[in-house]
Amino acid sequence: MAIEFLSIMVFTFALALLVLGAVTWWIERGRKQMLGALMMGSALVIAGAYAFLGSRFAIVVFGRLIITVDLPRLMATAMVYTIGVLLGFGLAGGVFLWISGRMVEPTRLERRLATFVVIVLLVALAISIIAVRLSH
CA 98 from chain centre, in angstroms, equals 26
Half-sphere exposure of 130 (CA within 13 A, CB side): 6
The predicted pLDDT at position 42 comes to 94
Q: What is the dihedral of CA 26, 50, 8, 37, to 10 degrees?
A: -10
Query: Is residue 71 a contact partner of residue 52, using CB atoms and an 8 Å limit?
Result: no
**E strand or H helix at 66, and its extent?**
none
CA 133 from chain centre, in angstroms, equals 27
CA distances from 28 to 18, 25, 36, 43, 112 (A): 15, 6, 8, 19, 22
Query: Is residue 67 a contact partner of residue 49, using CB atoms and an 8 Å limit?
Result: no
pLDDT in tens, 103-132: 677 778 878 887 887 888 788 888 878 877
The predicted pLDDT at position 121 comes to 79
pTM score: 0.57
**Residue boundaries of the structural domains of the chain:** 2-104, 106-136
What is the rounded CA–CA span in Å between residue 36 and residue 62?
Answer: 33
pLDDT in tens, 61-90: 777 766 677 777 777 777 788 788 878 888
